[in-house]
């Protein structure tokens, strides 16, 4: 689950990307039970600062494209961290290896390159499979 997954889950539950602040925090905290109140408030504030959520008066509007792109970036970061830990490398070394490894596949998404690299190195990449399919 990425950093902004609770916000995306709230959008799915409501069927809309527009919320009042209390409504969004309430859905994340009580209906979805993903975070406590303080954590949900902090997440909403961070999302506003990072442009994931836009404030329009009293209304909060989730920018779905930005939120989904952020989630995708989180998956790549998690895969790189996992590979680095499992192979005893730094994350920077893994990224360099991925760039080299990715040349053989042409214009393939970097998340998929990282997944394939992990498989080739004999790592259990199953925790990431479902997140790449979506």
- Domain harbouring 23, CATH code: 1.10.10
Long-range contacts from 14-18, C-beta under 8 angstroms, 24+ separation: 17/61, 17/62, 17/63, 17/64, 18/59, 18/60, 18/61, 18/62
Domain co-membership, 48 together with 93: no
> 84 and 35, same structural domain?
no
Task: List, for residues 106-119, the tens digit of each pLDDT value.
Answer: 888 888 899 999 99
Q: What is the mean pLDDT of residues 49-69?
A: 86
Q: What is the number of structural domains in the chain?
A: 2
Q: Is residue 53 a contact partner of residue 44, using CB atoms and an 8 Å limit?
A: yes
User: Does 110 lie in the same domain as 96?
Assistant: yes
Are 111 and 72 part of one and the same domain? yes
80 and 126 fall within a common domain: yes
pTM over 0.75: no
Domain check: are 127 and 89 in the same one? yes
**CA dist., res. 32 & res. 38, Å (int):** 15
- Are 80 and 99 within one domain? yes
Mean predicted confidence (pLDDT) in 20-36:
92
Residues 49 and 73 placed together within one structural domain of the fold: no
The domain of 29 spans 5-62
pLDDT digits (tens, 9 = 90+) for 30-55: 998 888 999 999 999 998 998 889 99
Domain end marker among 62, 79, 106:
62
Distances (CA, A) of 10 to 39, 53, 109: 15, 13, 27
Same structural domain, 17 and 49: yes
């Amino acid at each position: 689950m990425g950093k902004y997954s609770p916000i995306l889950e709230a959008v799915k539950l409501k069927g809309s990307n527009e919320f009042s602040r209390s409504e969004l925090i309430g859905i994340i905290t009580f209906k979805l039970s993903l975070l406590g109140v303080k954590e949900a408030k902090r997440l909403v504030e961070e999302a506003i600062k990072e442009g994931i959520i836009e404030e329009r008066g009293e209304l909060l509007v989730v920018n779905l494209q930005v939120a989904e792109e952020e989630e995708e970036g989180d998956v790549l970061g998690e895969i790189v961290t996992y590979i680095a830990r499992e192979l005893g490398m730094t994350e920077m070394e893994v990224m360099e290896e991925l760039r080299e490894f990715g040349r053989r596949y042409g214009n393939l998404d970097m998340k998929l390159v990282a997944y394939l690299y992990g498989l080739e190195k004999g790592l259990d990449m199953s925790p990431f499979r479902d997140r790449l399919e979506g």
